[in-house]
């Protein structure tokens, strides 16, 4: 090898070493590796496991999951759950919403069976996740696509096939925004799609405290006995609720 070739090879090696050193110093390599070793899905599963074991309360769980959703780049989450594949040929019902189960890819530190149920919910414009409340469950909902009108209410009590509720949230939410429910906070929710299609990613915790979960479909428009900002609404069977609330009428 002549001196010129040797010098060129030495310079290239030095430049390569310098580039790697620079990348390490700026943590660019570390940033690339972090999502694999410290992925949001692992943290999410840890939160859900803690709630299942009652080492955190439901309101703390709500805050932790919503904070996590705020930090996760939406495109990363869409790629991770293979959103484009999930909605390929998606069946949009004329009333209400359709769902698909989500499967996470294999990842070190993430159990194959997560501590929570994971689904996407999808619907066409003016269709709704009908107003309903819950018992013995918590869930969080991240908008993946589109925009929705979201209303929340606190469940004050259930009696005589009615629920006493108090409004807490009424706003439009878009892709990247989230909400959550529990027995203690914002228990009732109601989503109406305001764009051509709309989707949420849902994290669902059922049968908390070893009690069977329940869902109460509510006739919000039939509210009565308003008092101090709260009111009483009838509980409906799912067919009646879908017929009245599954598709918003603009007439």
Mean pLDDT of the chain: 89
DSSP 8-class letter at 107: B
Q: What is the pLDDT of residues 186-242, one digit of tens each?
A: 999 999 999 999 999 999 999 999 999 999 999 999 999 888 899 999 999 999 999
Q: Is the pLDDT of residue 35 over 60?
A: no
Q: Is the pLDDT of residue 27 over 70?
A: no
What lies within 8 Å, CB to CB, of 45 at 6+ separation is 110, 111, 114, 115, 116
- CATH tag, 39-245: 2.60.120.10
DSSP 8-class letter at 108: T
What is the pLDDT, as a whole number, of residue 228? 84
Q: What one-character-per-residue DSSP string does 154-215 give? A: EEEEEETTEEEEEEEEEEEEETT-EEEE-SSSS-EEEEEE-SSEEEEEEEEE-SGGG---EE
Helix (H) or strand (E) segment spanning residue 72: none
Nearest-angstrom CA–CA distance, 146 and 87 = 13
Q: 185 with 77: CB under 8 angstroms?
A: no
The pLDDT-based confidence of 250 (bands split at 50, 70, 90) is: low
Whole-number percent of the chain with pLDDT over 70:
84
The pLDDT-based confidence of 33 (bands split at 50, 70, 90) is: very low
Name which of 26-30, 52-56, 236-240 the model is least confident about.
26-30
| Domain-wise residue ranges, the chain | 3-35, 39-245
What is the pLDDT, as a whole number, of residue 8? 55
Query: Which is more confidently placed, 16 or 156?
Result: 156
Sign of CA dihedral 61, 67, 68, 70: positive
pTM for the full predicted model = 0.83
The pLDDT-based confidence of 19 (bands split at 50, 70, 90) is: very low
Q: Is the pLDDT of residue 25 over 60?
A: no
Strands 138-145 and 197-205: antiparallel
What is the pLDDT, as a whole number, of residue 226? 80
């Amino acid at each position: 090898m002549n001196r010129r070739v040797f010098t060129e090879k030495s310079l290239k090696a030095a430049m390569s070493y310098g580039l790697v050193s620079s990348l390490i110093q700026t943590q660019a390599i570390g940033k690339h590796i972090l999502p694999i070793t410290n992925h949001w899905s692992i943290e999410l599963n840890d939160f859900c496991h803690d709630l299942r074991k009652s080492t955190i309360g439901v309101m703390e769980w709500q805050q932790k999951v919503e904070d996590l959703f705020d930090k996760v780049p939406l495109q990363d989450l869409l790629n991770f759950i293979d959103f484009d594949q999930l909605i390929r040929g998606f069946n949009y019902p004329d009333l209400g919403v359709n769902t698909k189960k989500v499967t996470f890819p294999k990842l070190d530190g993430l159990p194959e069976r997560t501590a929570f149920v994971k689904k996407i919910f999808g619907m066409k414009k003016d269709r709704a996740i009908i107003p309903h409340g819950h018992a013995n469950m918590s869930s969080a909902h991240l908008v993946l696509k589109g925009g929705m009108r979201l209303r929340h209410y606190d469940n004050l009590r259930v009696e005589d096939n009615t629920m006493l509720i108090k409004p807490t949230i009424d706003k439009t939410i878009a892709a990247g925004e989230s909400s959550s429910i529990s027995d203690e906070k914002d228990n009732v929710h109601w989503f109406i799609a305001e764009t051509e299609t709309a989707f949420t990613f849902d994290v669902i915790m059922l049968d908390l405290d070893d009690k069977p979960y329940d869902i109460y479909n509510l006739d919000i428009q039939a509210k009565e006995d308003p008092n101090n900002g709260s009111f009483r609404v009838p509980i409906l069977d799912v067919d009646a609720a879908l017929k009245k609330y599954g598709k918003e009428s603009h007439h």
